[in-house]
Amino acid sequence: MKVLVPVKRVIDYNVQVRVKSDQSGVELTNVKMAMNPFCEIAVEQAVRMKEAGQAEEVIVASIGPQKAQETLRTGLAMGADRGIHIESEADLEPLAVAKLLQKVVEKEAPGIVIMGKQAIDGDNNQTGQMLSALLGWSQGTFISDLEVSGDSAKVVREVDGGLETVELKMPAVVTVDLRLNEPRFASLPNIMKAKKKPIDPLSIDDLGVDVAPRLEVVKVTEPEKRKAGEIVGNVSELVDKLRNEAKVI
């Protein structure tokens, strides 16, 4: 079985995000980039499946500029076998990404697609669900546990009320949550080996997908700075402020 893992290049989660002076987006010039943390968890899960004999090949795929190949190399260093790079300078919307991934799935015929539940830049949490709908595959979202057996998969989903266990018919699309696993650090030998692993280039035209945006970004602004807290003298004063100032009780 092949496992396909879409990965995204985003601003490193340790970096303070800054808005451009013209409010057209966030500043990316000379900013440290990295693989989306949820994508790292997805790659780790796919590699573990291969190590357990549940998968024969792990493929990482990324959509983005030429530098997105650095993100693919990270996935290859973690243990993936090969990469697919769909070059695009535009910041694509989730539906366009899902349509491109649909073409990749049709070309590669994986048994399962494992991906992060969301990217930490857009926080859309839409691509996995859209991909599942386009393919007509089963889906399991926000998973914290995955067991594949034959033509079915059992997943534990994190929902508002706690945990939900669902059995999926394969093939399936699953999106991973933080508690699924702890991604490994790529060793130096594996980083060197990753440089020799193949990355297949594709273009949007090759896949024949319309990626025209449906939305227009009017402006991007920083959130309002959090106001300082206030120390109260006693419980009665606290209740009074919650009732009359905050109006939450």
Residue 226's pLDDT band, with cuts at 50, 70 and 90, is confident
Are the CB atoms for 200 and 83 separated by under 8 Å? yes
Predicted pLDDT at 155: 95
Predicted pLDDT at 150: 86
Predicted pLDDT at 166: 94
Phi-psi map region of 206: left, alpha, beta (phi>0 left; psi -120 to 50 alpha): alpha
The arithmetic mean of pLDDT across residues 43-51, rounded, is 97
* Helical packing angle, 127-135 and 94-108, nearest 10°: 50
- Whether residue 161 is predicted with pLDDT greater than 90 in this model: the reply is no
The reported pTM is 0.86
**Tokens at 97, concatenated:** 């990404």
Q: Could you report the per-residue pLDDT of 171-203, keeping only the tens digit for each?
A: 999 999 999 999 999 899 999 999 999 999 999
**Tokens at 191, concatenated:** 């980083």
Domain ranges of the chain: 2-244
- Whether residue 249 is predicted with pLDDT greater than 90 in this model: the reply is no
- Whether residue 238 is predicted with pLDDT greater than 90 in this model: the reply is yes
Q: Give the C-alpha separation, 111 to 24, whole Å.
A: 40
Tokens 């060197």 correspond to 192
Predicted pLDDT at 246: 84
- Whether residue 229 is predicted with pLDDT greater than 90 in this model: the reply is no
Residue 103's pLDDT band, with cuts at 50, 70 and 90, is very high
Amino acid of residue 206 = D
Are the CB atoms for 157 and 143 separated by under 8 Å? yes
178 DSSP assignment:
G
Superfamily of domain 2-244: HUPs (3.40.50.620)
Q: What contacts 124, CB < 8 A, 6 or more positions away? A: 94, 118
Q: What contacts 167, CB < 8 A, 6 or more positions away? A: 152, 153, 154, 155
